[in-house]
A and B are shown apart, each in its own frame.
Chain A
Amino acid sequence: MLLEMTGQKSVPNVFINKMHVGGCDKTLQAHEDGSLKQLLSGDEAYEYDLIVIGGGSGGLACSKEAAMLGKKVMVLDYVVPTPKGTTWGLGGTCVNVGCIPKKLMHQTAVLGTTLQDSRKFGWEFSETVTHNWDTMKTAVNNYIGSLNWGYRVALRDKNVNYVNAYAEFIEPHKIKATNKRGKETFHTAAKFILATGERPRYLGIPGDKEYCITSDDLFSLPHCPGKTLVIGASYVALECGGFLAGLGLDVTVMVRSILLRGFDQDMANRAGEHMEEHGVKFLRKYVPVKVRTPGRLKVTSKSTETDEVIEGEYNTVCTDPSVPGDLILVSPPPRNGKIPVNDEEQTNVPHVYAIGDILEGKWELTPVAIQAGKLLARRLYKGATLKCDYVNVPTTVFTPLEYGSCGLSEERATELYGEDHIEVYHSLFWPLEFTVPGRDNNRCYAKLICNKLDNDRVIGFHYLGPNAGEVTQGFGVAMKCGATKEQLDGTIGIHPTCAEVFTTLDVTKRSG
């Protein structure tokens, strides 16, 4: 009878909660991959193996991976509208109000420069070229719409249950989901993953929510923003300020202290200088105090160093609120309310995990969230051990002159190893494609930080120039392989490219 049921002749023959595990080997194997513990803890009492809260890049990657490993998975995604009423579909920040629309609008600005260049390369067309916000916005949003749809299809194909509802914990293993119409449902699961990401915050000054918009609104704004004040100097702020200026708008960036906090400051300042040269105005060491109407948006700001108070007007003519022309963009101010996790993305509640932007002190980047989500699913359900590596993460800021980096900033490297133990190689360069139009000579910059204590290993890679993302990615792989300066020197350049500059770096900063 037992043989018929299990196909197993030998003993022991192990069952847990009426489920056949197998003999000694199988049981030990189950112990090793963690599934034994799961069976013993009685997970099957729950409706789902896993509920992921948040349908952004990380949440989707994690839920799909878990479903592929045979788990019953639910994803809850709900977009709380912005004060301006902007809302969007499945896919989270990256797809809807982050990477994708940002890069496309950056690309639009790049094409604006391209149009000027192209005349020098012999192309002839009408003297006046203007930009139509609506054409761009529609094209970008149509593409986003197709991505939203694609995600829903992908979830269905992988048998992940997707619910468009707002989730709240009511018991350790139970959540309440409230949909748009206020209908409540209740779901239980053995494990939960929080991947709700972040939303831009407001300044907390009079007039902020009434009159200001954030990056959540910008990409789907129904009208051209016109003369714009961008408050903040995070990468989101600089990217938005950069592409708006590239579209020909009058842009001012208000900076409380420094540009691109956390990034190499030498590089950040160079990227900022380039923006300034290309018409972006910077109001440094100021913070806004209040924003008021009627008419033009009047922004009062005060200096962070003196008592000086200034007022700027970020509107041109109209008093009609529906008329384009006025906008203030707020980038996320310093963070708080984030979730601390251990190096396996586990929170202080053992069955609750968290990934992505919601984490404290981790990168706010889509590919990091995807990587973390996939690896977490594999650790939970496949017995894998590989953890997400939050060091040596290559990334790019799409400022008008793009900035790509991987590894440590010069400041951090100095702090960790001491100035005497690092060697910084650097070079200014002029991309071949800039020579004919004669622009931005000696603005592009390459910098490499090597650890002299460890065989001149490359610990920081920094590139300011065109196509920074494309250039940086491969060097990210090389740094994963533990590349040294010697190996870099042994790499043959690809001629003529910008990236080849890294194969011929021989001037050290020390040498002056």
Chain B
Amino acid sequence: MALSLIPPLTDGPISYQAIYQPAQTGSFHNNNMAALCRGRHRWKRTNCLHVLTRNLSGIYDYDLVVIGGGSGGLACSKEAARLGQKAAVLDYVEPSVKGTKWGLGGTCVNVGCIPKKLMHQAALLGTAVKDARKYGWQISGPICHDWATMAEAIQNHVRSLNWGHRVQLQDKKVKYLNVKGSLVDEHTVRGLTKAGKEMILTAKNIVIATGGRPNYPIGIPGAKEHGITSDDIFWLKKEMVLSSTRRGSDVALECAGFLTGIGLDTTVMVRSIALRGFDQQMAGLITDYMATYGTKFLWKSVPKSVDKLSSGALQVTWTDTRTGDEHKDTYDSVLWAVGRAPETKALGLDQLGVRLKKETGKILLGSDESTSVPNIFAFGDIGEGRPELTPTAVKAGKLLARRLAGLSAELMNYDNVPTTVFTPLEYACVGLSEEDAEERHGKDGIEVYHAFYKPLEFIVAERDASQCYLKVVCARGGEQKILGLHFTGPNAGEVAQGFAMGFQCGATYSHLLQTVGIHPTCAEEVVKVNITKRSGLDPAVTGC
């Protein structure tokens, strides 16, 4: 269908319609539908108490301007448009220190969840190819991995997602502007295009969802010049990594895991503990598994400097904090995974008096995502204390849009957020860590059921399953309400999702016991778990 059929929806100065491909055969119909919906909602609102605000908002270009086109920003703006609001989303990718940049969709799509899981999948497939031989598949000759093939395939998929996001915005009548947004006042946003052209947008409400970017360490010579971050690794064109050093966050472990998995010599440098904030017993199992998988760990070490040698290799100098000794080794690349920081400087928040948390630079928010300035809201990774996760941002964004449209008062519930870490042995959890449960309920107030199990598919493949483990942390009294659930093993995220829903419904240990297992799976071990930590009995699962 030809593009000219799409009714113009541009009010702002820049139109991106020209570059759309005429592939969206359903667009005309969709747009009409959207227009109809919009009409209906308007009619509804003029018939309720919002007449006054509607009249007021009429003086602005938009009902809602969202700065940041990541998962949260897109969800929020699309929801607003669906509810009949006039919405615009501003997205602009500041290139990384190494010059890497990407399209619409934010961290998750471009430099986070999506490429990460796909590279993790590439690593898993490497293990599977080796397993396949044990299952009778005859593969002659050596097995090796080509970075360029993988990177290109993944990048192509990411580009198709970038494209999909733009099409969706157009279908949903959200104005998309590839400009860098900053705040002028509580109703005005200044946009700056790549070419340096300036524009002014006014809006009834402004939402900031610009997320965060990876940090570089401070005070380490050579760190910025020679090191890369997770913003760059997924977009490297050719294989450049033979080995890397970084610190023990989930990003670090995930990257180190897939790099090891595709056959690279990989080292992780950890200052204190791995996976801070997660259950530490589980963190230990994950790093133990990685160590047997081939990832090297430098524990309790801090980097001192990075120097480029004449050979092109990078020489990293570090200090072992236990002994104070200095060590040196050479690597092909160095990837920093030392936390993320929000992009607030360019937003002009200080001039408006939007309050930030000093230590983190993140925006202080109320439970309705409001900032200290009226009409300005923020959510996602940029919010202080918010989980840095795509699904929470998506959900929070949608709920915020509904509240701003005056159609709902429902607040985002940030409790019971399940999550997974795509380390070589995957880890997923929902609820409290054992440490936190113990702190809140006391050692005698909790009962921990646990099991070491062996995934069926590991057995024939003769893979080591000694870190496949699960634990269910329950309140000790009464019905034994589940406080936290932790699982390491294949497909951990898939396993945990349903349990997270059970958790949401107030699942107790007896609910687990009453549920029939699905045989033979790993997930069934969760409903079969019956050994308490207190009993001191052997938690190894035997037989079916």
Contacts and interface: CB of A to CB of B under 8 A. Distances in A.
A472 interface: yes
A155 to B, nearest CB: 11
Contacts of B459: 143
A396 B137 contact: no
Interface string A82-121: 0000000001001100011001100110011011011011
Interface string A481-504: 111100110111111111110110
A121 B121 CA distance: 8
Given A99-B519, A474-B523, A111 B132 contact: yes
B52 interface: no
Interface in A369-393: 370-371, 386, 389, 393
A115 B420 contact: no
Interface stretch (A129-137, A199-207, A231-239, A330-338): A129-137
B8 interface: no
Contacts of B390: 495-496
Contacts of A69: none
A486 to B, nearest CB: 10
B529 to A, nearest CB: 12
Nearest to B126: A123
B108 A124 contact: no
A501 to B, nearest CB: 9
Given A143-B460, A497-B494, A131 B136 contact: yes
Contacts of A470: 490-491, 494-495, 521-523
Contacts of A339: none
A494 B493 contact: yes
Contact of B125 (A123, A150, A474): A123
Nearest to B151: A122
B502 A122 contact: no
A118 B129 contact: yes
A478 interface: yes
Interface stretch (B318-326, B348-356, B506-514): B506-514
Nearest to B422: A496
Interface stretch (B141-149, B219-227, B300-308, B363-371): B141-149
A131 B137 contact: yes
A316 interface: no
A128 to B, nearest CB: 8
Contacts of A117: 125
Please indicate which of the listed interface residues B132, B142, B542 has the most CB atoms of chain A within 10 Å of its own CB: B132
B398 to A, nearest CB: 10
B452 to A, nearest CB: 16
Interface stretch (B9-17, B210-218, B410-418): B410-418
Please indicate which of the listed interface residues A129, A134, A435, A495 has the most CB atoms of chain B within 10 Å of its own CB: A495
Interface stretch (A163-171, A297-305, A360-368): A360-368
B154 interface: yes
Nearest to A386: B514
A428 B179 CA distance: 34
A495 B504 contact: no
Main secondary structure, interface of B, reads helix
Contact of B497 (A128, A483, A497): A497
A471 B498 contact: yes
A436 interface: yes
B138 A131 contact: yes
Given A121-B125, A122-B150, A436-B118, A478 B505 contact: yes
B19 interface: no
Nearest to A404: B518
B137 A115 contact: yes
A491 B491 contact: no
Please indicate which of the listed interface residues B495, B518, B522 has the most CB atoms of chain A within 10 Å of its own CB: B518
B184 interface: no
A55 interface: no
Contact of A139 (B136, B140, B154): B136
B6 interface: no
Please indicate which of the listed interface residues A95, A125, A154 has the most CB atoms of chain B within 10 Å of its own CB: A125
A171 B332 CA distance: 80
Nearest to B263: A123
Interface string A445-489: 000000000000000000000010111111111101111100110
A477 B515 CA distance: 6
B544 A57 contact: yes
Contact of A129 (B139, B417, B499): B139
Contacts of B457: 103-104, 107
Given A126-B141, A495-B390, A472 B502 contact: no
Please indicate which of the listed interface residues A120, A367, A467 has the most CB atoms of chain B within 10 Å of its own CB: A367
Contact of B500 (A482, A494, A496): A494
Nearest to B141: A126
A91 B544 CA distance: 9
Given A473-B495, A474-B496, A494 B544 contact: no
Interface string B67-95: 00000000000000000000000000000
B135 A499 contact: no
Contacts of A283: none
Interface in A342-357: none
Given A111-B128, A478-B501, A495 B389 contact: yes
A88 B389 CA distance: 50
The 4 closest A-B pairs by CB, nearest first: A474-B498, A122-B150, A499-B497, A473-B523
Given A469-B524, A493-B394, A498-B494, 12 more contacts: A99-B544, A107-B456, A118-B122, A122-B150, A140-B460, A433-B117, A473-B517, A473-B521, A477-B507, A480-B515, A491-B416, A493-B391
21 contacts: A118-B125, A124-B145, A125-B141, A139-B135, A143-B460, A151-B543, A389-B514, A435-B118, A470-B491, A470-B494, A471-B495, A473-B499, A475-B498, A481-B511, A487-B504, A491-B416, A494-B428, A495-B389, A499-B494, A503-B497, A503-B501
Interface of B: 108, 113-114, 117-118, 121-122, 125-126, 128-129, 131-132, 134-151, 153-154, 157, 262, 389-392, 394-395, 413, 416-420, 428, 456-457, 459-460, 490-491, 493-502, 504-507, 511-512, 514-524, 526-527, 542-544
